[in-house]
Amino acid sequence: MSSSSHILLQSGQGSSGSLLRSLVLGAQAWALIGQLFYISCLVPVAFNAYGWLPIEWSPHYWSPFFGSPGFIFTHGVRGFWGKYWHQTMRISVSGPGFTLADALRLKRNGLARYTLLCAVAFGLSGTIHFGLVPPEPLHATIDPNSIRLYIAGFFWVQPIAMLVELFVAQTVARTLGIQYWQHGAGLKVRMVVNGIWVVAWFALVLPMLGEASRQLGYWRIWPMPD
């Protein structure tokens, strides 16, 4: 690893260093996942340009891979996962939760149903992401299962933030009314608070993915020249 990458990833102690590393990691994840989608779309888009593929199958006519960042500021962590972040796995990981909730006849829009849906979706998502870890990581200093738990743990704790948000939102709506927070100064305050909250939350939990990435050797290659 070059000196510049070492300084970037290891600089700072406490909250400031954690925040910096979390922001860098989040930006890299966004760029990597976006590239995986857009690069793979070049072939069907080219086929459509030559008339070899129906327009419905051409990705450049689909909805954007990532949603609007505005959802993060209006709905916090719930907006991040539910509206902003890519929805590639949404059906596969959320479907079982809906089936189970319907079988249990949980009330629609109820807290019990919402909790179950979040738990199942992120539980499955964390388990699926086990696949990022090979049987014998080349550069790891801990066992593979510990790395898998770091990755899965990041997803498994997300329902905690979402339920906290829901509780706070419902409490504020009951005590102060919902209309104030949807327009004018109230909306601005809401967006600022949500923005700070989301950054703080991911600064707390993203280090789990950062440590897993370090163990998998993701930081051994530094694309920027010294």
> Is 1 a domain residue?
no
> Is 50 a domain residue?
no
> Is 146 a domain residue?
yes
pLDDT, tens digit (0-9, with 9 covering 90-100), for 136-147: 998 899 999 999
> Is 8 a domain residue?
no
> What pLDDT is attached to residue 218?
81
List CB contacts of 223: < 8 A, sequence separation 6 or more. Answer: none
> Is 190 a domain residue?
yes
pTM: 0.79
The total number of structural domains in the chain stands at: 1
> Is 3 a domain residue?
no
pLDDT category of residue 190 using cuts at 50, 70 and 90 = very high
Average confidence (pLDDT) over 157-169: 95
pLDDT, tens digit (0-9, with 9 covering 90-100), for 79-122: 999 999 987 777 788 889 999 999 999 998 899 999 999 999 99
Domain extent, residue 87, equals 67-220
> What pLDDT is attached to residue 9?
45
- 77 has a pLDDT exceeding 60: yes
> Is 139 a domain residue?
yes
What residue type is 204 in one-letter code? Answer: L
pLDDT, tens digit (0-9, with 9 covering 90-100), for 27-65: 878 877 877 777 878 888 888 888 888 877 777 777 777
> Is 57 a domain residue?
no
